Structure 1
């Protein structure tokens, strides 16, 4: 998701992955599945197939882990601040974990075409030999909105794919 935040003298964009359900909603779905699984496993144990109980528990533990890791990945944030002098990118989960400063006049946005028809294009902020991946969690529609916003803010856009690395040293 791309959100434009207010900023005097520039543009600030908040980039986040799409999240279809809140943490509380995920926990409710997991608890409902726990209830269904325990009813079925309890019925099987009552009929004598008690070995189903540990596997039902393992299944629910694996599902809880998957829900937790997915919810954690959906908490990623990237904040791109564009001023007349510089581009400032901050990335993190719950707190800022990395940041980059690129001079505005020499920085550009490179759009790498997708590797297959289903994948979205990849975005990179480039300054000389330094390149930083930008919002690799966005879908096609959000990438188009982001590119449009960056284009309107005056950032140079390079749609050429980089040359493949040479095999010869």
Structure 2
């Protein structure tokens, strides 16, 4: 998993999620060519010795390897970008380009990390807002998902700590939690 976050303006954050599963396309092609040369070289030597059935199997082997490397390289282009800026959250998902975009209201969005019932210790990170849900980081490990949920919960929702300073302007307090007063213990929302 690769996660980056940047502060482009005061209160604005950007989280980029990408699977860490494959080298770049050029490296993948070089590995495939190297393995192909070795495999076909051995197959041609064996074919010249009379073991001709080795050549079609070598071709099938290289076709399967090429398909697996292609699928892996394509999956490495998956991206999920979460923009938290002003009063809005924009979630973009796609492979190599933005394919789907969601817009959520920052104050009404909840960050939830829920346990999936049929999978042992598998969680799902969800942004919920007004009846809509956006699932994030399906390719992340459980610990990475927990960490991301903590980071997102600091800047999303009604008690967001990296807001635009509206709390200090309205109440004179620097910290939104102090401006509201004592809080009730409802347990940890993010697991």
Q: Distance in 1 between matches of 2:74 and 2:157?
A: 31
Structure 1 ranges of 4+ moved more than 6 A: none
Q: Alignment partner of 2:52: what SS?
A: coil
| Larger of the two Rg values belongs to structure | 2
Query: Are 1:116 and 2:119 counterparts?
Result: yes
Alignment partner of 1:51 out of 50, 53, 70: 53
Structure with the higher strand share, 1 or 2? 1
Asked whether the 8 Å contact 2:84–2:156 carries over to 1, the reply is no
**2:26 matched residue in structure 1:** 24
> For structure 2, which runs of at least 5 residues remain unmatched after alignment?
159-187
Q: Aligned residue pairs: how many?
A: 159
Q: 1:159 to 1:148 in 2, by over 3 A?
A: closer
> For structure 1, which runs of at least 5 residues remain unmatched after alignment?
161-169
Per-residue CA shift, 1:12-64, capped at 9, x if unaligned?
Answer: 11111113422222122211211221122112212212122122112111211
What is the TM-score normalised by the length of structure 2? Answer: 0.74
What is the TM-score normalised by the length of structure 1? Answer: 0.83
Structure 1 residue 158 displacement after superposition:
4.0
RMSD, aligned CA: 2.1
Structure 1 residue 83 displacement after superposition:
2.5
Q: How do 1:7-156 residues align onto structure 2 when only pairs under 5 Å count?
A: 7-8=8-9, 9-114=11-116, 115-117=118-120, 120-155=122-157
Asked whether the 8 Å contact 1:11–1:82 carries over to 2, the reply is yes
